[in-house]
Amino acid sequence: MKEFIEEVYGIKIEGLQPHGNGQTSDIYKIISDSGSYILKSHLNEQSATNEFYCLETLSKVNLSARPLYTVNNSIYFRHGGLFYILLTYIDTQDIKKTDLDYFKLGKAVKTMHSALSNLKLTDVPDRFNEEQLIHIIKSAGIKKLIEQKYKDYKNYTSDNSSIIHGDLGVWNLLMDEYKINIIDFGEVRYGNPFFDLAALTESLDLNNTDTMNLLYGYGVKDDKAYNRLTTMRKKWKLRGLIFLAVNELKTEQELYDLLE
């Protein structure tokens, strides 16, 4: 594939190696005569197209890597049944909670949502279909408990007016010397913006003070916003429990304890 990439992007590759795997993609680091890049695969054209335009938009506000057009001005190339996009490589450091300014992080998420609001994306359904997954849980008792909790959050989370990242955990943040970068828009879709905030607060296990700083940075300061986020955090946790139950990664007793 090396020669093919060189032809498609007009670069001379000096090194090509795996750079970790996403849940639905393969990722490679490319070292070339014009710099370092990340090559990422997508299963379909829709996903590749959406991620390209999200990254292009956010790179203009210094929140992500910049995707590259091919020599033929295409946003992706197809090889072996997959769709690939190429983006600039960001030299980063490991994220430590003590290094994060949660006000600035909230501001970055707000900037992301505001910038993406101007895009017209092809809507991608949430691949984590809770109702379908709940249906295949084997334990009748666990299934009943999860169904009850799911009903509590279903109507609240039905707001699909905003473009959201869809998987904005700490694992999709990169830090360089100067700023936070947001990566991996393979789950981007229309949804509730508080879902992204919930993913961050849960993955970082934020206390009340840090959570409020995150919300202040996002631009909301009232109790109503905090309550909305609290509800969405419960929704995020429930998704995790559904995943554990479906894949039988916890015993029934462990799941009961987590559901209490």
> For residues 248 and 60, what is the distance between their CA atoms, to the nearest angstrom?
43
Same domain, residue pair 106 and 231: yes
- Please report how the helices 140-154 and 223-246 are oriented relative to each other, as an axis angle in degrees rounded to 10: 150
Which tokens is 29 given?
A: 């680091």
Same domain, residue pair 71 and 126: no
> For residues 179 and 72, what is the distance between their CA atoms, to the nearest angstrom?
32
Same domain, residue pair 69 and 143: no
Same domain, residue pair 79 and 102: no
**CATH code, domain carrying 7:** 3.30.200.20
Q: Count of CB atoms within 10 A of residue 131's CB?
A: 10
Predicted TM-score (pTM) of the model is: 0.88
Same domain, residue pair 66 and 115: no
Domain range holding 49?
A: 2-88
> For residues 178 and 105, what is the distance between their CA atoms, to the nearest angstrom?
13
**CATH code, domain carrying 158:** 3.90.1200.10
Burial environment of residue 170 by CB neighbours within 10 A (0 to 12, 13 to 18, 19 or more): middle
The single residue listed with the structure tokens 């828009």 is 185
Q: What is the 3-state secondary structure (H, E, C) of the chain?
A: CHHHHHHHHCCCEEEEEEEEECCCCEEEEEEECCEEEEEEEECCHHHHHHHHHHHHHHHCCCCCCCEECCCCCCCCEEECCEEEEEEECCCCECCCHHHCCHHHHHHHHHHHHHHHCCCCCCCCCCCCCHHHHHHCCCCHHHHHHHHHHHHHHHCHHHCCCEEECCCCCHHHEEECCCCEEECCCCCCEEECHHHHHHHHHHHHCCCHHHHHHHHHHHCCCCHHHHHHHHHHHHHHHHHHHHHHHHCCCCCHHHHHHHHC
Considering 30, 55, 88, which residue would you say is the last residue of a domain?
A: 88
Cβ-proximal residues to 96 (8 Å cutoff; 6+ apart), any chain = none
**pLDDT tens digits for the chain (260 residues)?**
899 999 999 999 999 999 876 666 899 999 999 999 999 999 999 999 999 999 999 999 999 999 999 999 999 999 999 999 999 998 877 777 777 899 999 999 999 999 999 898 877 777 778 888 998 998 888 998 899 888 877 766 566 778 999 999 999 998 866 688 999 998 899 889 999 999 999 999 999 999 999 999 999 988 889 998 998 998 888 888 998 999 888 888 888 888 87
Q: How many domains does the chain have?
A: 2
- In this structure, the strands spanning 35-42 and 26-32 are antiparallel
Task: Single out the residue of 255, 257, 231, 47 nearest to residue 134, CA to CA.
Answer: 255
Same domain, residue pair 103 and 171: yes
Considering 54, 88, 122, which residue would you say is the last residue of a domain?
A: 88
